[in-house]
Amino acid sequence: MIEQIEGLPAGTLGFRARGQVTSQDYERVIVPDVEAAFALNRKLRLLYHVGDDFTGFDPGAMWDDAKLGFRHFTGWDRVALVTDLPWLRMTATAMGFAVPAEFRLFGNAELDAAKRWIAEPRPVDGD
């Protein structure tokens, strides 16, 4: 299941993965929210929390995630992934260079820090 994370600033989307995540979760929650947000914003920020109650992604969900990422490949400003799952942390670390956005990885205990980071203004060049 995918849930929205509320209380984030404008231009920032937040999602929490719980239990088993399916392609229907992407099609029902993430895709409409992302498409609507990109209709209003050229660049978006994303906070994605995969907590201890997460059990896995269905193959269709992983495919939907990849398609959505590629469709808006250059539209991400900042991406924060919050998880303690070793396989997901390793994958994110290995593939983080390919994300054309400022990317940071946080542990579950750092969720509040991730929310602060995703909301803070980018430094102006020369600062």
Q: What does the pLDDT read at residue 82?
A: 97
pLDDT 10s digits, 104-122: 999 999 999 999 999 998 7
pLDDT band at residue 12 using 50, 70 and 90 as cut-offs = very high
Residue 68 lies in a domain: yes
Indicate if the pLDDT at residue 127 is higher than 70: no
Residue 48 lies in a domain: yes
Top-confidence residue, 122 or 65: 122
Residue 124 lies in a domain: no
Give the structural domain span for 90.
2-119
Show Cβ contacts of residue 39 under 8 Å, excluding neighbours closer than 6 positions.
Answer: none
Residue 41 lies in a domain: yes
The DSSP call for residue 122 is: P
Specify the range with the lowest mean pLDDT, choosing from 48-52, 57-61, 69-73, 109-113: 69-73
Question: Hey, which residues does 81 pair with through a beta bridge?
Answer: 48, 105
pLDDT 10s digits, 73-82: 678 899 999 9
What's the Cα-to-Cα distance from 85 to each of 55, 72, 91, 107, rounded to whole Å? 10, 26, 10, 9
Nearest to 86 by CA among 115, 114, 54: 54
Number of domains comprising the chain: 1
Q: How far is CA 98 from the centre of its chain?
A: 14
Residue 33 lies in a domain: yes
Residue 126 lies in a domain: no
Q: What is the mean pLDDT of residues 8-31?
A: 91
Residue 46 lies in a domain: yes
Q: What does the pLDDT read at residue 93?
A: 87
SS3 assignment, position 126: coil
Task: Cite the DSSP H helix spans in the chain.
Answer: 23-25, 31-40, 59-71, 86-95, 111-119
Give me the CATH number covering residue 95: 3.30.750.24
Top-confidence residue, 73 or 92: 92
Residue 44 lies in a domain: yes
Please state the pTM of the whole predicted model.
0.87
